[in-house]
Amino acid sequence: MADGQKQRVFSGVQPTGKLHIGNYVGAIKQWAGIQDQYDTIFCVVDLHAVTIPEAIDPKQFRAKILEVAALYLACGIDPAKSTIFLQSHVPEHSEMTWLLNCLAPLGWLYRMTQFKSKAGTNESVGTGLLDYPVLMASDILLYDTNKVPVGEDQKQHIEFTRDLAQRVNTMFAGAKLVIPDPMIPPAGARVMGLDDATAKMSKSTAETRKGHAIGLLDTPAQIKKAIMSAQTDSENEARFDHAGPGVRNLLDLYEVLSGQDRAAIEAEFHGQGYGKLKKALVEVTIAALEPIQARYQELTGAQDYLGDILRQGAERARSIAAPTLARLRDAMGFVAP
Ligand code: TRP
């Protein structure tokens, strides 16, 4: 087991799209909160971000990778407690992926819903899109990960990782891959789109639909605009268990960002017209993002510091990943270098 008796946690964010309040509330803030309890490793999964090659703009891509790394830190991931690194800095991810590719049944990959929805019937998509789950399994398995904090939408990928690990362990007993469990965030931490509360707030949608999301780096004016135009309904219902999806989303966000309890929130906003709730939400959102944005600004002026953190992170990551890869290579019969 990792680091004394602590269980190991691994998660990652793709450096694509626009990081938003849903990523903060549903993921990064949760991660920051478990750093003492677990041996935590947080990766910027840049290799995953090239599976849609048409979307790569090299200059923007490089900036985005560093932006996500800086936002990890700005949101409270502490390099003294957690390992923070870029996936492409640890070559074991790619080598592990090759070995696991040869052990992963093609049928399992064709059945993944993310592949089906992204590829459709288009035969010219990159092979990496099909292979995405194997790279993700490599990320997780290389670190003997016990728990993987991810949203509901990633559950199938964790199931795939578990099935693949079990299969490898059966084929090559010496591999001893650790079977990971998903760690799904609490219900209130799932933020829906402001413009359409039937779908989860999404980084890629946020790029194209203004008013869909609150970006972590949005200005107070942008935050205000997005929240004030958020979808509600024609009722006056601001009770958690009775509100329509749009209002419920605003209530949930207000609850996590204000730290107030539900009874107090309902007492303040129920039957009032939604303008009051929205204005209050604008305030708590701006207040919550202010320190994050200030720390982010500091980090953009300290690229050397960020570079050092990422180098140290990659070094520690390699010191864990390399022995796991060696274990699998040995179990399969490769000759030790
Ligand atoms: N597929 C994940 C997502 O889109 C990102 C990811 C890649 C990941 N590798 C991972 C998450 C390993 C957790 C663990 O959200």
Determine whether the shortest distance from the Cβ of 12 to ligand 1 is under 6 A: yes
What is the per-residue pLDDT for 121? Answer: 87
- CB-based contacts of 114: which residues, under 8 Å, 6+ apart? 132, 133, 156, 157
β-pairing verdict for 83-86 and 39-44: parallel
Higher-confidence position of 127 and 4? 127
Q: How far is ligand 1, taken at its centre, from the CA of residue 243, in Å?
A: 32
Ligand 1 proximity of 154 Cβ (cutoff 6 Å): yes
Looking at ligand 1, which atom is closest to the CA of residue 139? 12
Q: Which amino acid is it at 130? A: L
Which ligand 1 atom sits nearest the alpha carbon of residue 136? 9
Q: How many CB atoms lie within 10 A of CB 3?
A: 11
pLDDT band of residue 270 (cuts 50, 70, 90) is: very high
For the stretch 172-218, pLDDT in tens is 999 999 999 999 888 778 999 999 999 999 999 999 998 999 999 99
pLDDT digits (tens, 9 = 90+) for 236-257: 999 999 999 999 999 999 999 9
Alpha helices in the chain (DSSP H): 21-23, 29-33, 58-74, 92-103, 106-110, 113-119, 127-141, 155-171, 203-208, 220-228, 245-258, 262-269, 274-300, 303-332
pTM score: 0.95
Please report which residue ranges of 232-273 form alpha helices under DSSP H: 245-258, 262-269
250 CA → ligand 1 middle, Å: 26
Mean pLDDT computed over 127-155: 96
Q: What percent of the chain has pLDDT over 70?
A: 99
The verdict on the CB of residue 16 being under 6 Å from ligand 1 is no
* Predicted pLDDT of residue 126: 93
How crowded is residue 323: how many other Cβ atoms within 10 Å of its Cβ? 12
Please indicate whether residue 200 is annotated as part of the active site.
yes
- Of ligand 1's atoms, which has the minimum distance to the CA of residue 149? 13
Q: Return the higher-pLDDT residue of 2 and 77.
A: 77
Q: What is the pLDDT of residue 4?
A: 64
Q: How far is the CA of 264 from the centre of ligand 1 (A)?
A: 36
